[in-house]
Structure 1
Amino acid sequence: LPMSVKTKEELINKLKNDEIKFEKLEIEIEESLLPIYEHEKTIKTTKQKEKENNKYKVSELEWKVEDNNGKIHEIRKLVIHGSRLDELKKKTRERHLQKTEEMLKNLKLNKRDLKSRKEIKQRVDKILKKYNTKEMIEVKIKQKLQKIKKQIGKGRPGPNTKYKEEKRYIFELKVSRNEEVIKEKAILDGIFIMVSNQSKEEWSNERL
């Protein structure tokens, strides 16, 4: 079940406040879901690998839904955590963060089409959007005064050459990670929701 922004916020708050209690979940792998040509030994190996590599835990929450006629229906809402999904989310986020930092570091500021604050901001926003790291990476565009000593007149510099000082403003980026946002996003790593209108007797958690 896709999670809306509201659902994510509610889950994060519940997890922060330790309101969701997980129980270990042993997933039953249906043999009927495996390819028909797989023999018994392969099926056992597949089951064993699944158990070893992916650990699940579940918490069942109350969820009541009202239909158009005003009738209340109790739906089973299962919050499930998978260890492999958790690991995948963490690795993907870290990869995106590192790629964002690398791209920002390699920007050639104060040259060509990156000479103004507006141009730089547009490029920065494009990178953050590409890797979906806008909230996790903070970028400040700093303006700095640079002093340049420039020779007066033409010719090769000598002991009597005179210079003048010119000033110009250049831009630089200050990039940092928003650890609070990253930490909050990590709360939902490995979490997904499943719903069912069947009772536990009809369809156990292990078979969902």
Structure 2
Amino acid sequence: MDADLDAIVEDRESRKSSSNANNSSNSLPGFTDYVIAAAARALKLHPIVNSQVTAEGIALLPEIHVSMAVALPEGLIVPVIKNTTSLDLASLASETKRLSGAAREGKLGLAELEGGTFSVSTLGMFGVDGFTPVINPPNTAILGVGRLRDDVVVSKKGKVSTVKRMTLSLTWDHRVFDGAPAAEFCKSIVDLLADPSALNK
């Protein structure tokens, strides 16, 4: 599913200008940070996605801990952003920066690798639009994030313009939920990305 990110680009530029003007040390959110924030809030709206398959059946998880895939020369590692929905964008950006840095330096603790309830994987930095991410067990879904690109659109009146877009690709366990709930979850992410202010609530 494609997400229009014009509002996100504008919000990020505003944050950058404000940070420069105030000499702020707050971390500037990257585009993946915005997607993680939107996905975490969408999980609250669609609890079936924040789940695990257990011996007793499907377990809806009470807490939201989004895992972020970090590529290392020796393979992939997936640190966990604990209580993701409790973080505003600046705090989330600081935490993802800390975790990715610790991952590359080999300094992640076991607690930082356990307890993830949903995963996000990004290949946009390699120029990839859409891809099929592989679920990180025991999660039941993972979101793939493509590159930010310019798409040409034509309005109903024939006006040509460009929009900033990103392709989001969801892989999920069909034992837990089907295509319609998956599409509704993705639509919630897209809607949240259209309103950056909602990502600080």
TM-score, length-normalised on structure 2? Answer: 0.24
TM-score, length-normalised on structure 1? Answer: 0.23
